[in-house]
């Protein structure tokens, strides 16, 4: 068996319209809604596919159970999207009043910079791109790997 690529990512959301208002900012459009499940298949122009599963329980007090509470449960903690420009990504986030929860930040010495945000359901989204001049937005935090 050989895994060639990630086919799609499933993200559980409480309200499809609210989620789409967020994901449309990054070029995602609904291409199909399942007839027998609460699933919307969304893609962007580069054919990146998300499955928005719109049946989340919305009584979590505004927290993400995998990221925001002291007890750490197993599960997928975030999705990371590769972007062509962190500077343009930050500008898009700021223009649309989306708070950056961490970053721009560089982890280690691989030449990549990331910013992290939360979608309306508090799912963690990382946008990752190559290092570039970010002095116009305050620069980059750097965390060196210990190993």
pLDDT tens for residues 58-68?
777 777 777 88
Residues forming beta bridges with residue 126, ordered by sequence position = 80, 116
pLDDT of residue 14: 92
Greatest mean pLDDT range, 73-77, 99-103, 133-137: 99-103
Residues forming beta bridges with residue 105, ordered by sequence position = 114, 141
Q: Write the pLDDT tens digit of every residue in 32-83.
A: 999 999 999 999 999 999 999 999 887 777 777 778 888 887 888 899 999 9
Q: How many residues make up the chain in this entry?
A: 147
CATH of 78-147, one of 3.40.50.300, 1.10.3720.10, 3.10.180.10, 3.40.190.10: 3.10.180.10
2 in the Ramachandran plot: left (φ > 0), alpha (ψ -120 to 50) or beta? beta
Domain ranges of the chain: 1-59, 78-147
Reduce the DSSP state of residue 3 to 3 states and report it: coil
pLDDT of residue 145: 56
Going by CATH, does the domain composed of 1-59 fall within 3.30.720.120?
A: yes
Residues forming beta bridges with residue 143, ordered by sequence position = 107
What integer is the mean pLDDT of 91-120? 91
Q: How far apart are CA 110 and CA 131, in angstroms?
A: 9
CB within 8 A of 141, min separation 6: which ones?
A: 103, 104, 105, 106
Question: pTM above 0.75?
Answer: yes
2, burial (CB in 10 Å: exposed 0-12, middle 13-18, buried 19+): exposed
138, burial (CB in 10 Å: exposed 0-12, middle 13-18, buried 19+): exposed
Q: Which has more pLDDT, 134 or 32?
A: 32
């Amino acid at each position: 068996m050989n895994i060639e690529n990630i086919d799609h990512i499933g993200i559980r959301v409480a309200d499809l319209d609210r989620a789409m208002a967020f994901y449309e900012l990054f070029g995602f459009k609904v291409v199909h809604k399942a007839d027998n499940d609460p699933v919307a298949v969304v893609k962007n122009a580069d054919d990146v596919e998300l499955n928005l599963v719109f049946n989340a329980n919305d009584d979590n007090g505004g927290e993400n159970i995998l990221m925001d509470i002291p007890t750490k449960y197993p599960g997928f903690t975030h999705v990371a999207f590769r972007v062509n420009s962190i500077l343009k990504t930050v500008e898009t986030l700021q223009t649309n009043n989306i708070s950056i929860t961490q970053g721009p930040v560089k982890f280690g010495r691989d030449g990549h910079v990331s910013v992290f945000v939360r979608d309306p359901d508090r799912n963690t989204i990382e946008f990752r791109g190559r290092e570039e001049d970010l002095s116009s937005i305050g620069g980059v935090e750097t965390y060196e790997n210990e190993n």
